[in-house]
């Protein structure tokens, strides 16, 4: 049976990482082992394995399938390709080889930089004695090149072809958003079906840890849905962040993981039990996988959507249940010292006004549990930098923290869950680039209530019951109220439902004289009037809703705007047909097809 290796492109490591993983299999085995667990793998050493290698000297996959999509989609995931441009100049090995000045010239010239042919010609003409050394050094910076240039290097300039010539298959999937799990799942599943016969005859090793957080989740979802070929195994690859010896290339490990990981997790994460909403089902599935990983999690969702409830459920789901410590970063008031002392604690005498014996920080307090940091976009810059270092756990998944005023480190096992009501584009501009990259490892988008209308009446019932109104354990049997609730956009999410419940309950408790003075005969009309008067948000399109960024083309910005416009129109007028009727009165030519194109961002597919 043939052996096939399948992986996504990985923005932070690039194609050299693929070569080094394959080199490990070649060096370690003559056939696929029953279980993978390779540790302390050195990329510097692995880079030379294929120099003088032959097929029969080690294990070689019959086919390597490399999944990619358009460059713009990967650039949205991370800005490192641009912000880390000059890092290669300061690479110790590059300095020793006398290549720093060459790389400085290249990275300062946009016409040269990241164009392999031009770079090599430049070095050949200006620094001919350094050409061989330059060629051998390219792998150290290859992750910053565009994908197609990386593949060109892999196939034409690296030692990859000594072993894998004609064995590499590039599969390009049309995915304009690598944060969209549904889109990724549809595209990957379509490719799997197309190549089903071929893959079914092969033993397939899928590296699920590369690509984006969402591509990782999709592999597990497809496995759970029995959409993968029967002879499939999962592996993950990960760096040892605790190793301080080599700054640029950490030792890494390759480990096999269960293909049915979701069903193997101790207790199901099931915040939305019996939900009919696919976005909520996805939240449940993603949280199951992410909690098992041990890495930090970022929750994205509007105000009032219940992000703290998700953190609470997470603490109950962990096999070794620990306490949940919560903090709102807005309470730090952009004060560096306050934020640092609250999170990391302080030693006695660290600063004037502190407690005489010092104080334990929230991270230490959350040892063996979860620290939930809401409104992370309010976290001061200096504290982001310190927290980023703490997130680099050792081989035992322990964080190293240091109290203010103390020189010794404390080891803590703590799961961090961050939350924000900002969009991912807004968050990118508010956080340090490195801190942003660190906390977006595992992202969960919490859908607003207006996108989960299938569960609306269940949500209403739960809100009513949770308020524990005296003598009223069940929500009222009021058909007009129920029909009205179903039509509301609920921009305040659960808080809006709570207000509706409190208005309704208040009217029920008024005496007859008060009801007469209010000139309202039923609790429904009173509730509707009060809610409309005080709490309905006018759904106008505001400038600050569109936080365009430098990684977007104008075409992508227009597509995003039209997507939001169709959502707004449907919510504003209570459906597409009513929205179309309204615009036709204004002599507009908008149609059902127009709305479909806006919703599906058709302009990006041309």
Domain total of the chain: 5
> In the chain, pLDDT over 70 holds for what percent of residues?
92
What is the structure's pLDDT at 207?
A: 96
pLDDT digits (tens, 9 = 90+) for 571-597: 777 788 888 888 887 778 899 899 988
Measuring CA to CA, how many Å separate 20 from each of 40, 169, 240, 401?
Answer: 13, 17, 15, 33
Q: Within a domain: residue 566?
A: yes
pLDDT score of 275 more than 70:
yes
Q: Within a domain: residue 80?
A: no
Q: Within a domain: residue 154?
A: yes
> Which band of pLDDT confidence, cut at 50, 70 and 90, is reported for residue 258?
confident
Domain that holds residue 120: 92-140
Are both 456 and 526 inside the same structural domain?
yes
Q: Within a domain: residue 365?
A: yes
pLDDT score of 298 more than 70:
yes
- Which segment of 165-179, 257-271, 348-362, 512-526 scores lowest on mean pLDDT? 257-271
For the domain that residue 400 is a member of, what is the CATH number? 3.40.50.300
Buried residues in 42-57 as b, exposed as e (16+ CB within 10 A): ebeebbebbeebeeee
> Which band of pLDDT confidence, cut at 50, 70 and 90, is reported for residue 560?
confident
> Which band of pLDDT confidence, cut at 50, 70 and 90, is reported for residue 224?
confident
Are both 505 and 586 inside the same structural domain?
no
> Which band of pLDDT confidence, cut at 50, 70 and 90, is reported for residue 543?
very low
pLDDT score of 537 more than 70:
no
Asked which of 236, 263, 290 is the last residue of a domain, the reply is: 263
What is the structure's pLDDT at 363?
A: 93
Are both 156 and 258 inside the same structural domain?
yes
Q: Within a domain: residue 87?
A: no
> Which band of pLDDT confidence, cut at 50, 70 and 90, is reported for residue 93?
very high
What is the structure's pLDDT at 164?
A: 93
Buried residues in 170-201 as b, exposed as e (16+ CB within 10 A): eeebebbbbbbbebbbebbbebbeebeeebee
Are both 280 and 331 inside the same structural domain?
yes
How buried is residue 507: exposed, middle or buried, by Cβ count under 10 Å (0-12/13-18/19+)? buried
Q: Within a domain: residue 82?
A: no
- Which segment of 215-229, 281-295, 370-384, 474-488 scores lowest on mean pLDDT? 281-295
How far, in Å, CA of 42 to CA of 24, rounded? 9
Q: Within a domain: residue 131?
A: yes
Are both 56 and 161 inside the same structural domain?
yes
Residue 271 CA, chain-centre distance (Å), reads 19
Check residue 269 and give left, alpha or beta (phi > 0: left; psi -120 to 50: alpha): beta
Largest CA distance in the chain: 98
Q: Within a domain: residue 81?
A: no
> Which band of pLDDT confidence, cut at 50, 70 and 90, is reported for residue 325?
very high
Are both 151 and 122 inside the same structural domain?
no
What is the structure's pLDDT at 318?
A: 66
Asked which of 534, 564, 595 is the last residue of a domain, the reply is: 534
pLDDT score of 217 more than 50:
yes
> Which band of pLDDT confidence, cut at 50, 70 and 90, is reported for residue 542?
very low
pLDDT score of 266 more than 50:
no
pLDDT score of 539 more than 50:
no
User: Sign of the C-alpha dihedral, residues 302, 305, 309, 315?
Assistant: negative
What is the structure's pLDDT at 340?
A: 92
Mean per-residue pLDDT for 223-231?
87
What is the structure's pLDDT at 55?
A: 57
Are both 227 and 367 inside the same structural domain?
no
Q: 28 or 130: whose pLDDT is higher?
A: 130
Are both 136 and 152 inside the same structural domain?
no
Mean per-residue pLDDT for 143-165?
94
Contacts of 169 (CB under 8 A, 6+ apart): 63, 64, 65, 66
What is the average pLDDT score of the chain? 86
pLDDT score of 278 more than 80:
yes
Contact 505, 472 (CB under 8 A): yes
Contacts of 594 (CB under 8 A, 6+ apart): none
- Which segment of 95-104, 316-325, 477-486 scores lowest on mean pLDDT? 316-325
For the domain that residue 150 is a member of, what is the CATH number? 3.40.50.10770
Contact 162, 155 (CB under 8 A): no
pLDDT score of 322 more than 90:
no
Per DSSP, the residues of 222-240 read HHHTT-S-SSEEEEEEEE-
> Which band of pLDDT confidence, cut at 50, 70 and 90, is reported for residue 262?
low
pLDDT score of 395 more than 90:
no
What is the structure's pLDDT at 478?
A: 94
Are both 239 and 383 inside the same structural domain?
no
What is the CB-side half-sphere exposure of residue 250 using CA atoms within 13 A? 16
Q: What are phi and psi of 172, to 5 degrees?
A: -100, 120
Residue 570 CA, chain-centre distance (Å), reads 28
Are both 235 and 277 inside the same structural domain?
no
What is the structure's pLDDT at 544?
A: 47
Are both 504 and 455 inside the same structural domain?
yes
pLDDT score of 393 more than 80:
no
- Which segment of 289-293, 435-439, 540-544 scores lowest on mean pLDDT? 540-544
Contacts of 351 (CB under 8 A, 6+ apart): 337, 341, 404, 405
Are both 240 and 299 inside the same structural domain?
no
What is the structure's pLDDT at 245?
A: 52
Asked which of 263, 292, 317 is the last residue of a domain, the reply is: 263
Contact 234, 218 (CB under 8 A): no
What is the structure's pLDDT at 550?
A: 59
> Which band of pLDDT confidence, cut at 50, 70 and 90, is reported for residue 315?
confident
């Amino acid at each position: 049976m043939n052996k096939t290796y399948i992986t996504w492109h990985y923005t932070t490591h690039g194609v050299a990482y693929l070569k080094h993983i394959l080199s490990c299999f070649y060096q370690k085995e003559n056939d696929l082992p029953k279980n993978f667990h390779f540790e302390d793998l050195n990329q510097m050493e692995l880079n030379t394995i294929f120099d003088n290698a032959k097929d029969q000297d080690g294990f070689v996959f019959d086919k390597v399938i490399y999944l990619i999509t358009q460059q713009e989609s990967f650039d949205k995931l991370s800005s490192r390709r641009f912000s880390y441009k000059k890092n290669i100049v300061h690479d110790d090995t590059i300095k020793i080889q006398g290549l720093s000045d060459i790389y400085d010239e290249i990275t300062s010239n946009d016409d040269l930089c990241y164009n392999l042919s031009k770079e090599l010609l430049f070095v050949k003409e200006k620094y001919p004695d350094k050409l061989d050394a330059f060629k051998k050094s390219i792998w150290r910076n290859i992750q910053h090149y565009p994908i197609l240039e990386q593949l060109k290097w892999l196939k034409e300039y690296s030692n990859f072809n000594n072993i894998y010539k004609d064995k590499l298959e590039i599969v390009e999937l049309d995915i304009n958003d690598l944060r969209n799990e549904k889109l990724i799942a549809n595209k990957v599943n379509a490719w799997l079906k197309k190549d089903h016969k071929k893959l079914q005859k092969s033993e397939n090793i899928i590296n699920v840890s590369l690509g984006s957080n969402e591509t990782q989740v999709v592999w597990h979802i497809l496995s759970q849905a029995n959409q993968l070929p029967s002879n499939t195994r999962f592996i993950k690859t990960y760096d040892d962040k605790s190793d301080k010896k080599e700054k640029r290339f950490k030792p890494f490990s390759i480990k096999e993981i269960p293909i049915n990981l979701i069903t193997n997790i101790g207790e199901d994460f099931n915040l939305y039990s019996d939900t009919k909403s696919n976005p909520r089902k996805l939240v449940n599935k993603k949280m199951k996988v992410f909690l098992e990983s041990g890495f930090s999690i970022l929750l994205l969702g509007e105000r009032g959507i219940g992000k703290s409830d998700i953190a609470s459920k997470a603490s109950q789901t962990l096999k070794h249940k620990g306490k949940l410590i919560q903090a709102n970063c807005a309470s730090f008031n952009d004060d560096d010292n306050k934020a640092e002392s609250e999170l990391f604690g302080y030693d006695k005498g660290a600063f004037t006004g502190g407690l005489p014996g010092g104080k334990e920080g929230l991270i230490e307090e959350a040892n063996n549990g979860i620290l939930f940091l809401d409104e992370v976009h309010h976290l001061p810059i200096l504290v982001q930098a310190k927290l980023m270092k703490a997130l680099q756990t050792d081989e035992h998944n322990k964080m190293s923290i240091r109290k203010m005023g103390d020189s010794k480190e404390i080891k803590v096992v703590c799961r961090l869950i961050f939350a924000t009501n900002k969009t991912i584009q807004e968050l990118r501009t508010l956080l340090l680039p490195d801190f942003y990259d660190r906390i977006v490892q595992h992202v969960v988008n919490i859908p607003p209530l207006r996108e989960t209308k299938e569960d609306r009446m269940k949500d209403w019932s739960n809100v009513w019951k949770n308020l524990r109104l005296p003598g009223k354990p069940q929500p009222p049997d009021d058909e007009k109220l129920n029909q009205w609730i179903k039509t509301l956009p609920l921009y305040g999410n659960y808080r809006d439902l709570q207000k509706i419940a409190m208005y309704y309950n208040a009217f029920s408790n008024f005496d007859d004289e008060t009801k007469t003075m209010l000139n309202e005969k039923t609790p429904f009309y009173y509730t509707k009037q009060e809610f409309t008067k005080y709490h309905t948000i006018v759904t106008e399109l505001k400038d600050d809703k569109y936080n365009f960024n430098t990684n977007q083309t104008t075409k992508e910005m227009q597509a995003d705007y039209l997507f939001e416009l169709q959502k707004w129109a449907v919510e504003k007028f209570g459906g597409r047909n009513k929205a179309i009727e309204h615009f036709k009165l204004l002599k507009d030519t908008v149609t059902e097809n127009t709305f479909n194109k806006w919703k599906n961002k058709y302009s990006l597919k041309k």
